[in-house]
Amino acid sequence: MEYLLTMTGTSIWETLNLFFLPGLILGVLYLYLTATFDYWLKLKVPFRKPAILFGNFRDLLLFRKSQAEGIKEMYNWFPNSRFFGVFRVRSPILILRDPELIKAIYVKDFSCFTNRGIPVNSQDPLSAHLFNLEGKRWKGLRSKLTPLFSSSKIKRMFYLLAECHDKFEKLIEASGGVVEVRGLAAKFSIDVIGSCAFGIQMNALTNEESEFHRAAKKLSVPSYKSALWRMLRTSLPGVYRFLGVQVINPEVTVFFKDVVSQMIKQREQEGGRRHDFMDLLVELKNKGFLEGDYATGGTAGGDDDDKADDFVLDENIIAAQAFVFFVAGHETSSTTIAFCLYELALNAEIQKKVREEICDAIEAADGKLTYEAVHDMKYLDKVLLETLRKYPLAPILSRRCEYPYEIPETDVVLPAGMRVVTPVYGIHHDPQYYPSPDTFDPERFSEENKATRHPYTFLPFGEGPRNCIGMKFALLQTKIGVISFLRHHKIGINDKTAVPIKFSRRNLVTTSETGFWLTLSSLE
């Protein structure tokens, strides 16, 4: 009997353990995941009830909606609020709606919101680029790289862009018919970046097996895994660092590091100057400063005691900057060109007006594509700005609060570490600022119409000291790409054209899920 009681007692204890321990673990996990869910309630900030594991980002984290669609929906939750709160997993995030508040955070109070809060780990060396770097490292590099993107520097390299334009026109002529224009534009943008940034003839227009072309393909293929890690690394930075996640394709990392190492050795041995991006980086690596006309261009902003000269470049840092210049210059320009052509295919009168302006400007320049001719194409400027308004490639902008910050005209104090997000896509599609926002109307960007809007309702390149450093070059490259398509061809839609366009749910930038299939036909 005693034996049976002992066995029975043991069985009961084991049974209790079987249910108690998992229940305890789940209970602790539940408390951890929901412990912050009363955060915005305590601050009396408008918010929506979050869901466990996902917060308010279920559809985005499960890839049910694109970033653009999810952000637009979120933006419209509280139409009468200057800001509101959300949760990503368990992390509270402040969403901005008021342009004046956006201006305060991105410019007036920039010192409190200097960083984006994107963690970098040693296993992912190419992620340590200008976009992600923080504090003195960011400021030092930004100050050193700014001169490269001056108007005089860009004008000097225009002949390289013109050469790429000439070759691209021939490729377009040979393509004709139904084509996926983003893929075609990508070949042009790869050649431009290779020529202007690195002094390399990549021949991407004719050689799809080039190493750079293969690298671009690996980077442009959307991945659920990498997209998920990019979204989670800002909400779970500790886990990101602990696991040593490598978001960038390892093969691409090895390729860029090897190419940059070889190029540095070649430049140092040969001497001379090609006046390109790599020249600048090699000079900064060896001297720590720039000479001659490179030595001007402004500063990155911030505190005076953050000395830019404290920043030292090594080969890994150079490789990271080369990588981000290649990715940003290639993907953003080709996608913007594709979105622009898509809208022009749907709006024949606007397309005709752009083409007439292009032809008139080139004819006035004796039939040549010159820097001045492109600069004079003001209607094309409006068309590109409206393209970036309707399809901002970055649907959100993000900053991290560096010290306690009291939101102007409120008693709400944000703690250090709080993430503040600007829903660019939502603002760009707010009828309060852009009536009939789904209509493509370049005249929104006439001087008269721009004067009626708050300047911080148009944010395709960010704002403040941390805006896009290559904005001028990107716009020029994109204009030339559009000119190459329109000068001798009409753009139309066909049975493969997605109308309306369907955004990719796996890509963090705004792009098409199915491609940009359009018809190119020669002018009669």
Query: What gap in Å lies between CA 464 and CA 461, rounded to an integer?
Result: 10
Average pLDDT over residues 91-102: 96
Closest CA to 165 of 490, 477, 488: 477
Residues contacting residue 470 through CB under 8 Å, at least 6 positions apart: 149, 325, 328, 329
Q: What is the pLDDT of residue 274?
A: 63
Query: What gap in Å lies between CA 374 and CA 364, rounded to an integer?
Result: 11
Lowest mean pLDDT among 319-328, 418-427, 511-520: 319-328
Instruction: Calculate helix-pair angle for 471-486, 181-193, nearest 10 degrees.
Output: 130
438 near 429, Cβ under 8 Å?
Answer: yes
Residues contacting residue 289 through CB under 8 Å, at least 6 positions apart: 144, 295, 309
Q: How far apart are the first and last CA of the chain?
A: 104
**pLDDT tens, position by position, 339-361:** 999 999 999 999 999 999 999 99
Query: What gap in Å lies between CA 42 and CA 45, rounded to an integer?
Result: 8
Annotated domain spans of the chain = 1-34, 36-522
Q: What is the pLDDT of residue 3?
A: 45
Closest CA to 149 of 277, 263, 312, 264: 277
Q: What is the pLDDT of residue 289?
A: 56
Kindly report the number of other CB atoms within 10 A of residue 268's CB atom: 11
Query: What gap in Å lies between CA 518 and CA 494, rounded to an integer?
Result: 6
Cis peptide before 423 (omega within 30 of 0): no
Lowest mean pLDDT among 38-52, 106-120, 254-268, 480-494: 254-268
Per the CATH hierarchy, to which homologous superfamily does domain 36-522 belong? Cytochrome P450 (1.10.630.10)
**pLDDT tens, position by position, 215-255:** 766 666 656 666 666 666 666 666 666 666 667 777 788 88
**pLDDT tens, position by position, 361-384:** 999 999 999 999 999 999 999 999
**pLDDT tens, position by position, 486-514:** 999 999 999 999 999 999 998 889 999 99
Q: What is the pLDDT of residue 323?
A: 84
In the block, tokens 């261009």 appear at 297
CA 477 to chain centre: 16
**pLDDT tens, position by position, 274-322:** 667 777 777 777 766 555 444 444 444 444 344 444 556 777 888 888 8
Q: What is the pLDDT of residue 305?
A: 41
C-alpha dist (Å) from residue 469 to 162, 324, 461, 473: 22, 12, 9, 9
Residue 5 has pLDDT above 80, yes or no: no
**Structure tokens that stand for 375 in this block:** 């600069």
Q: Kindly report the three-state secondary structure assignment for every residue of 79-136.
A: CCCCEEEEEECCEEEEEECCHHHHHHHHHHCHHHCCECCCCCCCCCHHHCCCCCCCHH
When pLDDT is cut at 50, 70 and 90, the band that residue 94 belongs to is: very high
Q: What is the pLDDT of residue 306?
A: 43
Kindly report the number of other CB atoms within 10 A of residue 1's CB atom: 5
Closest CA to 121 of 221, 215, 244: 244
Name, of 124-128, 205-209, 296-300, the range with top average pLDDT. Answer: 124-128
Instruction: Calculate helix-pair angle for 333-346, 348-364, nearest 10 degrees.
Output: 120
Q: What is the pLDDT of residue 55?
A: 92
Q: What is the pLDDT of residue 268?
A: 77
Q: What is the pLDDT of residue 251?
A: 79
Structure-model confidence comparison of residues 214 and 33, the more confident one: 33
189-223: b (≥16 Cβ within 10 Å) or e: bbbbbbbbbbbbebbbbeeeebebbebbeebbeee
When pLDDT is cut at 50, 70 and 90, the band that residue 389 belongs to is: very high
365 near 372, Cβ under 8 Å?
Answer: yes
Q: What is the pLDDT of residue 297?
A: 40
**pLDDT tens, position by position, 74-84:** 999 999 999 99
Q: What is the per-residue DSSP string for 16-79? A: HHHHHHHHHHHHHHHHHHHTTTTHHHHHT--B---BTTTBT-HHHHTTSS-HHHHHHHHHTT-T
Lowest mean pLDDT among 147-151, 396-400, 506-510: 147-151
Structure-model confidence comparison of residues 508 and 112, the more confident one: 112
